[in-house]
Amino acid sequence: MSLRLLVTARDAGATFNLIEIARAALRDGDFSLSIHAQSPALEYLREAGLDAIDVALPPASDAGDGAARALLEYARAVQLSVQPDALLAGLSTPGDGGIDEAALATAVAPSFVMQDFWGEANGFFGRLADCYLGLDEHAVRLTRQRHGVDGAVVGSPRHAAYATLDVEELRARSRTELGLAEGVDVFGLFGQALHRLPGYQMTVEAWAAALRRLPGPLAAVYRPHPRETDADAAATLALVRGSGLECRLVRQRTVEETLAACDVVCSAFSLCSYDAAYLNRLATRPLITPVTLLFDQQVRDYCGEHIHFEDFPYLQGRLALSVRRVEELGERLQSARHGHLPESVWRAARGIPDPSGATARALEVIRRRVSGQRADAPDVGPAEDV
């Protein structure tokens, strides 16, 4: 008899992992799936060929407001209807609540979250998952320390799917699609939904001003975050162009296409830096230099409060460059183009653990927990295989 797995999703980062797990579960044959998603996750799931039900409700900003009650009622009704053996939810950035958090709060079966950021959990409605499926041992350890909840190391399902990528071919194809000339250094700004922070606006302006002062030839592209609205994207472009930098907005189908087109990938603290590191791992030569823009105190405070950026493995492992003082920005952007730093970042990425087998480990954890067995990381594969 197949296990009934209820899957929920809202944020894009978690969804890319859930897509791979859901595909593996359907191939496995031991699982039947019911998938419920809010935007932007809904569009990604359907594009991946998965049958996802639209949760046509907005996220809640207050656990006691009408939006919160509607989400909780929806989640209860779904679980009564599906009668799942397990719940697998995505991870949404703390601060508001959506279908993932509502499903965890009303869970009637063992609950799991596929964690796409180290040590992060969202208990908006006052209840966390029974088990967090972590990217590595560091993620599981942080989750236990910060939230007192259990975890299991499974690895990164979305990055395991990179195994079939030819990143050099992807770069050539993507640059042709974007009309980027040979010999031009391409700088990418990967946006985040932080426009409410004046410090983020200052970060964007400083990036554009520093880039404009660099010697050419270079090109600038901007890819909005899935949670950025059209108005947010227009505001970012206005900030960049107001600093005198020509920049084009790109909305390619996958983030990997845009990452591969860039020589230097810039963001405040986006996970795209980790995606870039995995692309570097597959490249036969230095490809992308990720740069985190953490020189504004307000952005650092926000990041430290919600995500604890000092724990980012891609910073600890020197997989990305970090700018902590705005006075250093121009020099760091220039050094990210050529010389020893791109080589150093590329070589560091060669040491990233192999993520293959992540989906199988995730499904095995769920199976064992549902059957009442304890599924710690050693039961699903040694950490060095993650």
Superfamily of domain 166-349, CATH level 4 = Glycogen Phosphorylase B; (3.40.50.2000)
Q: What is the mean pLDDT of residues 310-333?
A: 82
- pLDDT band of residue 386 (cuts 50, 70, 90) is very low
- Calpha distance 308→319 (Å, rounded): 17
Q: Please list the alpha-helical segments (H only) found in 215-339.
A: 230-242, 255-261, 272-282, 297-306, 313-316, 329-335
CATH, range 3-155+355-385: 3.40.50.2000
Residue-level pLDDT at 77: 98
Lowest mean per-residue pLDDT among 160-169, 271-280, 307-316, 342-351: 307-316
Does the predicted TM-score (pTM) go above 0.95? no
Tell me the pLDDT band of 292, cut-offs 50, 70 and 90.
very high
Strands in 106-257 per DSSP E: 111-114, 131-134, 150-153, 185-190, 218-223, 248-249
Nearest CA among 376, 13, 308 for reference residue 146: 308
Residue 50 to residue 26: CA distance in whole angstroms: 10
- The mean pLDDT of 14-36, rounded to a whole number, is 95
- How far are the Cα atoms of 3, 8, 41, 52, 133 from residue 368, in angstroms, in the given order? 11, 20, 27, 26, 13
Q: Are 206 and 329 in contact (CB under 8 A)?
A: yes
pLDDT at 313 over 80: no
Distances (CA, A) of 165 to 160, 169, 340, 365: 10, 8, 26, 27
- At 221-263, the pLDDT tens digits run 999 998 899 999 999 999 999 999 999 999 988 999 999 999 9
Q: Grade residue 23 by pLDDT with cuts at 50, 70 and 90.
A: very high
Q: Which two tokens stand for residue 64?
A: 């006691």
What is the rounded average pLDDT of the residues 295-309? 79
pLDDT tier for residue 352 given thresholds of 50, 70 and 90: confident
Q: Where in the chain is the domain with CATH 3.40.50.2000?
A: 3-155+355-385, 166-349
Angle, to 10 degrees, between the axis of helix 297-306 and the axis of helix 198-212? 120
